[in-house]
Structure formats: C-alpha cells, structure tokens
Structure 1
Amino acid sequence: MTEQTSPASPQTLLLVDDEPSILSALRRLFRPCGYRILTSESGAGGLDLLGRENIDLVISDMRMPEMDGAQFLEKVRAGWPRVIRILLTGYADIAATVNAINKGEIYRYISKPWDDNDIVLIVRDALERQQLQNENARLLALTRTQNDELKALNTGLEARVRERTVELEQVNGFLNLANDTLKQSFLVSIKVFSALMELREGSGGGHARRVADMSRKLAIQLGLDAKAQQDVFIAGLLHDIGKIGFSDAMFAKPVPKLNAEELGRYRKHSLAGANALMPLADLKNAADLIRAHHERFDGQGFPDGTAGLGIPLGGRILAVANDYDGLQIGTLSEKHFSAEDAKTLLVKSRGKRYCPTVIDALLELLGAPHEEVGQTARIPVGQLKVGMVLARDLMARDGSLLLAADYRLDANLVREIQAYAKREGLSLVLHIRTTN
C-alpha cells in the first residue's frame, strides 16, 4: 500500500505492524509531514517493499507473528544498511529490545503508547541526520574526485614544464607582468566596489573618491611612504563600507537628524567596516584606519575612544578628509557649507576633534594645491597607445568609474575605450602620465 503526499520527491517511510489500526494511526500522524508513506502488515512484506522501493526510514513493531521486529530490523540492517531503523515496543521485554538494538543496530526504540509529538520529532531528526550524512558522503566523494583530477592535471603540468625548460626565462617575465597586473586589478576592483557603494548616496555621490584623493594628498604632504599613502587611499575609498546595511531613509539623513536607534547604528559603522575587511590580509592596515576614522584627538570619538597620537596617523588624516567633504555635501550637518567655511570649521576644532599636524597640512595643501605626481599630457582618445598610463581616473557620464588612475593600457583596453567613446558620441581626452 502506498500513499503519495508530496509531488517534490519526498522522503519515504516504511511502517511495518501486524495491526492495521496501528498502521492507520501512524499514517494519519505522518501524512501532514509531507513524507511518502509505505505500509506492510508483516516483516516479509516489508522486506519485499525494501527490495522494490527507495526507502529512507523504517518503523517496525516488535511483536509480530512469523518474524518479530528484532529479526526484521536485523535483516534490514544486513540488506539496506543506510536505511534508518526505529523499533516500536509495547511490552517490557528488556532482553528482546537489547537484542534488537545489538543485531539490528536500530536508531531509536519507542514505547507504546507513543507521544505523537515525540515520534514526529524523532523521525524528523533522524531524516535530517541522514541527509547531513549523505551530503557529507557526497562532498567527500566529490573532493576525492577533484583531488584525483588535480593530481592528473599536476602530472600533466609537470611534464609540460619539463618539456619547456628552455622557455623558463620568458615564462618568468610573463609571471612578473601578471603579478603587476594583479596588483593593479586589485586596486581597480576596490575603486569599482567603492563606486558601486556610492550609487546609493544621491547628492553625496563621489564622496569616497574625494575623501580618498584628499587623504592621499595629505599623506604625501605629511611625508608618508608609498605603502602608507596606498593604505590611506584605499581606506578612503572604503571608509563607509560599514554603512552598506543602512536603509535609504537613513542614508538621506544628516547625522544630527538621526534618531537614537539610527545614531547607535551609525556609531558602529566604522567598526563594522573594519571587521568586514579583516579577512583580507592585504587590507589589514586600511581596515585599522577605517576603524579609527571617527576617533577624536581629544578622546571623545568612537568606537574605541582613542586619543591623541594613539590614533593611527592614517586615521587622523581620514577623519579630516572625511569631515571636510561631509560638511560640504550635508552629511554632517543639515546645512551645506562652502569649501572655505568647511575649512574654517575644521580649524576651529584643531587640537580638539582633529590632529593639529593634519589640520596644518590641510591648510598648506589648500593654500597651494598639490600637483599630480610626474608630468601629464592630455591625449585624445583616438591617439591612445598601448603602454600609456592613466594619470587620473576615467569616469563615465553618470560618475561611475571606468578605469582607475595608474592603470597601464593594453591593446584590448585601447580598443574598448575608443569603442565606448564612439558609442556614446564623446570626444574623450584622457590624462596620461608622461613620467613616473
């Protein structure tokens, strides 16, 4: 007898009992659970069904004529070891139950009369456990197969390497070029991700790029080495990554308009951003700067309340660059300040909120704009050549990033940029570095 209760390949139960009323009660109990249910009134019938059907779990009564539950489940274990086995026992025969446990290796035994909730939970847990075991076995088999394929691939690669020993010099040259490209692509990926985040910022769009650019200029002004400049630039691009879960309504509010709950979330975003980047070893320094960019020089900031020179210099730089732009775009105040007014407000908080050294560097920078490193030339898109290096980011009409500064053009990129300009009807002129 078969009852199909779900069209989506449900798990199958086999109920074995010589009393039809017990089978009917169990069938009614499990029908709402979505299982496919098979029944048999004898152990022999149950074995026949096991030979013909794909069954996941068996529930068998202990006391049955001809073949009792212990004997039946022992045969199930021998023939179908993956099938989960549960024994129903209605009398206090400890020896028979122990025998069934030992020979049939049953998963559980349940005393009659049973509790409906208990037996449903036992079956559900047993089937979930079986699914986990099956999935584990599948993954182990897949891993072994993939390892075998990798071994075969490695063997083939070793043979090819031996055959091409004479080309090692050329290969090493290609690897060095690939490594440089990877580093360049890593920075481009960060810029693209930053640009995607800024699509939510509305009037504040471009904030991360401006903060990153200002932070790098301040780092140069303060004499930081190239690695530190790179770290503070990346931190600038990603400093608001912890806001990625903010609602659109919260994004639209300046900080003074946030309610208590929103302000609590806002005060955690620098920590959330740092934690998000921690798994990436190359971004650990940038993550530390992101964590510190809302600390104050007087120790009244967040998340750690660090003060003075205990705040990383990059974090102090980022704080100044972030607030300088934030005052102008209206994220820190309901009013949008001019660049001059924003600078004045920052100077008033020199030594309190902001590091005096960084504020002095800002004043020097704004008084005498920092020149781009090296000489640059304006090159029309039609005159681009392979090997040229961008001196500035190449932006689309909507403000999204197409290519980052410092990217070296190859033949494919030249063709793509020229095709883009033609498709959009643009007379593009790119800033190209002439000296490095």
Structure 2
Amino acid sequence: MSTKENLKYTHHVLLVDDEPSILKALTRTLRRLPCTLHTASGGPEALCLLEESRHAFSLILSDQRMPEMDGATFLEKSRKFYPYASRILLTGYSDLEALTRAINLGGIHRFLSKPWEDDTLIQAVTETLQQYEVILENKKLQIMLSRQNQELEAKIQQRTADIQKQNESLSRVNQMLEDSFYSTVRLLASLVDRSAPELSGHGRRVSEMAAMLARHMELDAEEILHIEVAGLLHDIGKVGGTPGILRGNPQQMSKEDFQHYRKHPEEGQSLLQLIPRLDHVGILIRCHHERYDGQGFPNGLSEQEIPMGARILSVADAYDRYLHIPELSAEAVRLLSRQEDSTLDHINSQTLKRQAAAAKVKQDAFSRHDPDVVKALLDLLKNQGLGVKREKSLILEQMEPGMKLARPLYTVQGRFLLPYNTIITKEIMQRLNQIHKNEAIQEPIQILPA
C-alpha cells in the first residue's frame, strides 16, 4: 500500500520495547513510512531521550510489558515532555486493567496486539500520524488565527482611536459651525432690532409663539428650528424702510410704501439665501405673507402650496401684531366688543387684548390663515400653553449639562442666544455664564423634562 502520499510531513517516531528483536522488527516494518525512527530499550531510557532530544516527536509507540517501567506508566510520564504527541500501546496479552490505565493515564490513541500484521501496523501508524497532522494543522491554524486576531484587534484599536480623534475633530468643527450659525442669527436679529426700534421684541415673540405652535402640531425638530429662526428674522427685509413699512399696517402706508412693503418677503429671502443653513429659513420668510385663499404675496400661493412653517409664521405674526401694535390692538378689541355685544369693561386689559387678538386671527381663518394653525393657536391660548405644562423653570445657576431648552433663550435686551431643543453642554454653560456677566440672560429659563 502507498504511504508517502497519505502523509504531508516527515515525522519523528519513538519506538520503545525491552526486546531488541521487537525493536528491529518495528523499525524494519515502519521504514516504509516517511518517518525518522528513534528507539529506546525501556521507559527510563525513552524518558531521557525525550527530555534531551531536539526533535518534535509526532508518535510514541511503546510495549506495555517491560521490566523497569510498564508502557502505561511510561506513556503517562511522556506527556510531560510531549503532551500533543500521539501514543500507541503495543501489548502481547489481554490485560483489561492495564489497558484501561493506559487510556486514562497515558492518553493513548489506540493499541495493537502482538504479534502484528505488518500491513495492520503500517495502517495503524499511518492513520495515527494523519490524525496528528490534522491536530498539527489545527494548531497552526489556531496560532495563525490568534496572530491575525491580535493584529486585527490592534488595527481595530488603532482605527477606533483614529475614528475617535476624527469624531472629536469633527465635533469641534460642528460646534464651530453651530456657533457660527447662531452667531449669524444673533447678528441678523440684532440688526433688525437696532435698525427698526418699532420691531424690537416682535421677532422674538413671533419666534417663541411659532415654535410653540410647531411643537403643538408635532413637527419635527429640524423644522421647528427653521420656524424659530424664521420667526426671529421674518421682518429682516424691512430693515431700512420707512416707519410705515416697519409697523406693517397697510392702511396707514403711502402707495409707494405699500409697494416696498409687498417686496420685503423677497428682500428677506435674498439676504439669507447665500448664508449656509438659512436657505430654507429664507423660503419660510418669503412665503409668510401668502394667504390661505391665494390672495397673498409675493406669489399668490394658496393652501398646501404654502410651506407649513410659513403658515405658522403668518398666524404667530398676526397674533403678535394684534396684541402689541396699538392701532391694530384697538381694532381687534372693537371687533370683539361688537361680537360680544358688550363693552367688556369687566375683563382685565391684557386678557382682553389677548382675547381680541385671538378673535381677529380666528376671523381670518380660511381666508388669510390656515384653519388648522388657527385651531392650534386657540388650543394653546385656551389651555395657557398646552404642551409646555411640564416645563421646568430654572435660573442660570440651576442649569446643568444635559438639560434641553424648552424655549429659545434670549438676553433681557431680547438678543437671541440659543434655539428651542438645544442640549446644554459644558461648553455652552461656560459661554452662557460669560455672557451673563456682561449682559443678563432672560430668566427663568424653560427646560424640557428629562
């Protein structure tokens, strides 16, 4: 039978027997295999050979019955030097107890009876060495996989560290961009307030009301931010206009002022369209004077053609004007008095103004305003801020990193600082404390519940 083709490696095999004739017979038979054969005349000699040898033995074949040390004992001791070598026990008599001990202590892989058939011996040794080769290949594979895993783990750790550094760098860049964005918004809002005292506070109030309406109508956070910023800047196209244009009452404008007034939404969009992240805000500003019935300007859009954010701005803007511009507020109160057929003298002045402003906005539902947005406004007013009851009111000293703003944050002078839904970080807290030293921040600050 062919043997060389059955084995991949040349193996070192140790043959142990106290009878020289048996060793010669084993050597003669096993020379057919691609093996280097080593012999020992007993257990003690074999153990010395194993201890001193530089060879890696693949197989140890031992006779069981030897005078100084039996095969089971020798094979057990041999495991100290070559724990992974295969072991075959050669026995010339039936001794179940010795065989059991050899299996349990010596870790033998198989046993052969004496006398043996040469082909049987060769086949047994070949199969045992093949099993050893499988074990050897598995161990090599395990070592290779372990090394590759270690290298991969090192690469992963390095890559993780690189990604973490990149994320930290990206976070810093994003924070810089965020700071730049809010700085731009604050600058533009300040420009509106300083250039048009008549509008001072109007943008902030519209922004807050529009954001509350958007939250009540369950818009997503990004859209709420756009609406909030658009509320702050919706009148930026009026900057530089006459007092009549700034006050926004068409009935008191000259023909020339009215023509310029109708252009301010487009002017506002033009000012913002080249500023990163403000392009969508510009669209909302352009459309906030469109009417639900299609009679608005600049494009005569109607109903769903008008962006939802612009429809919300329209309601928030109108409500604030009827509440704070004296002649518009007086007009709204007169309307409410006629509707109620009463002087309404018994109602608190500020409450009366709010009711009158709400009634005027309600009157314009389906014509000027989206009825769904008007309903949201009436719901908010009826419930005195539905959807924000769970907000916590804190002063700056009580705020901690991780808290989230429930409303936009301003200074007491009305300068915009941060939008709704901003998560407070350590860096933001440091900046707010620094700002508070020079320009008081409006308190209490509204925080969303955790």
TM-score, reference length from structure 2: 0.52
2:244–2:252 contact (8 Å) kept in structure 1: no
1:96-175 equivalences in 2 (<5 Å): 167-175=161-169
Q: Once the two structures are superposed, what CA deviation does each residue of 1:14-63 show, in whole Å capped at 9, x if it has no partner?
A: xxxxxxxxxxxxxxxxxxxxxxxxxxxxxxxxxxxxxxxxxxxxxxxxxx
1:23-422 equivalences in 2 (<5 Å): 167-182=161-176, 184-185=178-179, 186-187=181-182, 189-248=184-243, 250-251=245-246, 254-280=249-275, 282-330=277-325, 333=328, 335=330, 337=332, 338-370=353-385, 376-386=391-401, 388-409=403-424, 414-415=429-430, 417-418=432-433
**Percent of pairs with identical residues:** 29
Query: Where does the alignment leave 5 or more consecutive residues of structure 2 unmatched?
Result: 1-157, 333-352
1:268–1:303 contact (8 Å) kept in structure 2: yes
Query: Where does the alignment leave 5 or more consecutive residues of structure 1 unmatched?
Result: 1-163
Q: In the alignment, which residue of structure 1 is the partner of 2:104?
A: none
**Secondary structure, counterpart of 1:295 in structure 2:** coil
Displacement, 1:303? 0.9
CA distance in structure 1 between the partners assigned to 2:168 and 2:387 by the alignment: 30
**Secondary structure, counterpart of 2:292 in structure 1:** coil
2:186–2:415 contact (8 Å) kept in structure 1: no
Deviates more, 1:186-195 or 1:233-242: 186-195
Q: In the alignment, which residue of structure 2 is the partner of 1:142?
A: none
1:218–1:358 contact (8 Å) kept in structure 2: yes
**Please, what is the CA RMSD of the aligned residues?**
3.4
Displacement, 1:264? 0.5
TM-score, reference length from structure 1: 0.53
The 1:326/1:227 distance shift into structure 2, 3 A limit, reads same
Q: Once the two structures are superposed, what CA deviation does each residue of 1:83-116 show, in whole Å capped at 9, x if it has no partner?
A: xxxxxxxxxxxxxxxxxxxxxxxxxxxxxxxxxx
CA distance in structure 2 between the partners assigned to 1:349 and 1:423 by the alignment: 44
CA distance in structure 1 between the partners assigned to 2:259 and 2:378 by the alignment: 33
Aligned amino acid, residue 376 of structure 2: A
The 1:303/1:183 distance shift into structure 2, 3 A limit, reads same
**Secondary structure, counterpart of 1:282 in structure 2:** coil
Q: Considering only CA atoms, is the larger Rg found in Structure 1 or Structure 2?
A: 2
**Secondary structure, counterpart of 1:339 in structure 2:** helix
2:208–2:408 contact (8 Å) kept in structure 1: no
Displacement, 1:325? 0.8
**Secondary structure, counterpart of 2:285 in structure 1:** helix
List 4+ stretches of structure 1 deviating above 6 A.
423-428
Task: Count the aligned residue pairs.
Answer: 272
1:393–1:402 contact (8 Å) kept in structure 2: yes
1:211–1:321 contact (8 Å) kept in structure 2: yes
Deviates more, 1:202-211 or 1:397-406: 397-406
**Secondary structure, counterpart of 1:279 in structure 2:** coil
Q: Once the two structures are superposed, what CA deviation does each residue of 1:379-426 show, in whole Å capped at 9, x if it has no partner?
A: 444455555554444433333335555455555654564466566799
Q: Once the two structures are superposed, what CA deviation does each residue of 1:138-159 show, in whole Å capped at 9, x if it has no partner?
A: xxxxxxxxxxxxxxxxxxxxxx
